[in-house]
Amino acid sequence: MFENAGRTEISSLGEFGLIEHLSKNFTIQNNTQLGIGDDAAVITPTEGYQTLVSTDLLVEGVHFDLSYFPMKHLGYKAVVVNLSDIYAMNGKPKQVTVSLALSSRFSLEAVEELYAGVQLACERYRVDLVGGDTSTSKQGLMISVTAIGEAKSADIAYRSGAKVHDLVVVTGDLGGAYCGYQLLEREKRVYLDNPSVQPDLGGFDYIIERQLKPEARKDIYEILKTLHIKPTAMMDISDGLASECFHIGKASQVGMSLYEEKIPIDPSTYNFARELDLDPTLCALSGGEDYELLFTIDQSDFKKIEHHPDFSIIGYVNEKSDGMNLITKSGNKHALKAQGWTAF
Ligand code: ADP
Ligand code: MG
C-alpha cells in the first residue's frame, strides 16, 4: 500500500539523514537536558521523585496488521500503550525513546506517517522524544518504545498492595478494543474474498477508534489526587480485565469477586458483540487493549467515587483462598479463569 505515489527510498537518506529528518519537528518541554543527537540523552531528575521506566515491543504480523492499521495510528498507539504503563504506576510520563527495524518495503513517506503519530502522542501527552535506535529488518516492521516517567515514592501504586475488603474499580468501559479488532478482521476477510466490496464499518466508529487509536488515562492521575485517593494497587488493562485481576491477585496474595452487571460496557461494544454472537462480558474480561486502569481502594474511599462518572466499582477483594470469582447477572458464582475464558 506504500509502493505507489511519491515513494522515496529510505536508503537515499542514510541512517543519520533519516533520524535527523524524522526528529526535526519535535520539541523538548520537560526535564530533558539533552535529547536526540549524542550517545545518550541527559535527564535532570526532579528532586524527591523516583524514575519509572517501561518498554513495549510491537512486531508486524504479531501485534498489528498493516493491511488495516494506518502507520500514523501505529506510531500513536505504540507511544500511548507505554505511557499507559507509567500512569498505571500512578506516575507521570516525561520522555520516550522510539526504536525501529524496517524492511526495504517501507518508504520514507510511510515512516514519516509513523512519526507523525509519534509526534501527535508526544504533544498530547506532553512527553519528550529523547532517542531511539534505527535498524533494517529482513522482513516487516518492528517498533519498540520506552517510556520514562516520575512519581513521588509515596504515590507509586504497585500491583502488590491490594488487601481484603478493598473495592475493585475500573475506569471507562471495556471490551471495545477487542470488538474493534474483530470488526476490522471481519472486513479484511470480506475484502480479501472480494476486493470490490467496500468495508462496512458504519455505526461502529467507537470500537474502531478503541482499537486503532487508544488513549492512555492521563486524567486519572489528577482526578485521584483531587479526590485524595491513593489506590492500594493499580495496573492498566492491556490483556483483559480477568487476566489483570489475576496479576493483582497474585502480587497481593488475594482473591476478588466481580459483579458481571457492574462491568462497564459501551452500548456499541454490546451491540457489536451481540451481532457476532459473542458474550459482551467475555469481550470485557478477555479482550484486552482497552488501556483503562484497574485499581483497588480502601473501603473508606467509597463515598469519594461512588457517583463519579469516570469510575465503576465492579467488585471487592476477598481472601486468596476464596479465589477469583465472577458473580453473574443471574446471581451465580463462577470461578474466573486465568486466561479469561478462552471461549473465543
Ligand atoms: P548509536 O550509534 O550510538 O546507536 P545512533 O546513530 O543510532 O547512535 O543515534 C543517533 C541519535 O539519534 C541518538 O541520540 C539516538 O538516540 C537517536 N535515534 C536513533 N534512532 C532513532 C529513532 N528511530 N527515533 C528517535 N531517535 C533516534
Ligand atoms: Mg543506534
126 torsion bin: left (phi>0), alpha (psi -120 to 50), beta (else): left
Q: Work out the end-to-end distance of the chain between its first and last CA atoms, rounded to an integer number of angstroms.
A: 31
Which of 15, 34, 36, 97 has the most ligand 1 atoms within 8 A of CB, as the residue to mutate?
36
Whose Cα sits closest to atom 1 in ligand 1?
39
Whose Cα sits closest to atom 11 in ligand 1?
37
pLDDT number for residue 337: 83
Query: Helix count (H) and strand count (E) of the chain?
Result: 10, 13
CA of 152 relative to ligand 1 center, distance in Å: 30
Whose Cα sits closest to atom 4 in ligand 1?
133
Looking at residue 141, its amino acid is L
Cα distance between residue 175 and residue 286, in whole Å: 8
pLDDT number for residue 202: 74
Which of 151, 143, 136, 106 shows the shortest CA–CA distance to 1?
Answer: 106
Q: Which atom of ligand 1 is nearest to the CA of 98?
A: 24
CB 95 within 8 A of CB 145: no
For the CA of 37, the nearest ligand: 1
Ligand 1 is surrounded, with C-beta below 6 A, by 19, 23, 36-39, 98-100, 129, 131-134
For the CA of 38, the nearest ligand: 1
Domain 159-335 of CATH type 3.40.640.10: no
What does the buried/exposed string (b/e) look like for 86-124 if buried means 16 or more CB atoms within 10 Å of the residue's CB? bbbbbbbbbbbbbbbbbeeebbbebbbbbbbbbbbbbee
Which of 31, 312, 293, 296 shows the shortest CA–CA distance to 165?
Answer: 296
CA of 289 relative to ligand 1 center, distance in Å: 29
Cα distance between residue 18 and residue 202, in whole Å: 38
CA of 102 relative to ligand 2 center, distance in Å: 14
pLDDT number for residue 4: 53
Looking at residue 116, its amino acid is A
CB 279 within 8 A of CB 178: no
Residue ranges of the chain whose pLDDT lies below 70: 1-5, 338-344
Query: In terms of residues, how long is the chain?
Result: 344
Homologous superfamily (CATH) of 10-153 is PurM-like, N-terminal domain (3.30.1330.10)
pTM of the model: 0.94
CB 327 within 8 A of CB 257: yes
CA of 18 relative to ligand 1 center, distance in Å: 10
pLDDT number for residue 200: 73
pLDDT number for residue 127: 98
Domain coordinates of the chain in residue numbers? Answer: 10-153, 159-335
CA of 37 relative to ligand 1 center, distance in Å: 7
Looking at residue 290, its amino acid is D
Q: What is the SS3 assignment for 289?
A: coil
Cα distance between residue 76 and residue 182, in whole Å: 21
Neighbours of 151 (CB within 10 A): 19
- Cα dihedral 122/126/131/132 (nearest 10): -40
CB 269 within 8 A of CB 175: yes
- Express each pLDDT in 150-174 by its tens digit: 999 999 999 999 999 999 999 999 9
CA of 312 relative to ligand 2 center, distance in Å: 44
Cα distance between residue 82 and residue 26, in whole Å: 18
Whose Cα sits closest to atom 7 in ligand 1?
133
Q: What is the SS3 assignment for 86?
A: helix
Q: Which atom of ligand 1 is nearest to the CA of 35?
A: 14
CA of 99 relative to ligand 2 center, distance in Å: 9
For the CA of 143, the nearest ligand: 1
Q: What are the distances in angstroms from CA 64 to CA 71, 111, 116, 192, 310?
A: 10, 16, 18, 17, 29
Which of 25, 24, 40 shows the shortest CA–CA distance to 148?
Answer: 40
